Amino acid sequence: MDIHAHLTAAAADLQMPSESEYPFEVWVSTSQDWPDVEAAIATQAPQPEPVEIVDLAHLFRNVAYAKSWHDDLQQAQVPKFQALMAALNDALTDLRVYRIGTVEVEVYILGKFAGGIAGLRTKLVET
């Protein structure tokens, strides 16, 4: 499986909603070592920032599950986010979601595959 192509297709036309919307970008490392990857993504923050690890369902709790307050566009996105979650779970093992920062939060959804550790990155704005 071409992990880059698989993840690109899974996230096509989706943006992570927050106070701003950001696209998903594919992120790939050939390392199988979590401490190496964690050190690499920590350097992406402009200054030392807190790192929180959450699960995928928590990250997508407001977009992959129907909510009574969703408008029509948000309702239409629910199955797309469910498909994205399924694609991530199918392609990657030992899935981890890293949130780096407090207001402008860098998000990495990463897991292991045969060639290393890969996933998606995006950003959330939470004020």
What is the percentage of the chain residues whose pLDDT exceeds 90? Answer: 80
The conformation of residue 120, written as its DSSP 8-state character, comes to E
What integer best gives the mean pLDDT of the chain?
93
State the fold for domain 3-125. Answer: Nuia (3.40.1460)
The band of 105, judged by pLDDT with boundaries at 50, 70 and 90, is very high
The DSSP 8-state label assigned to residue 83 in this structure reads H
How do 51-54 and 93-100 pair as beta strands? antiparallel
- pLDDT of res. 44: 75
* Paired strand residues for 52: 99
Q: Is the pLDDT of residue 127 over 80?
A: yes
And the tokens for 114? Answer: 């045969």
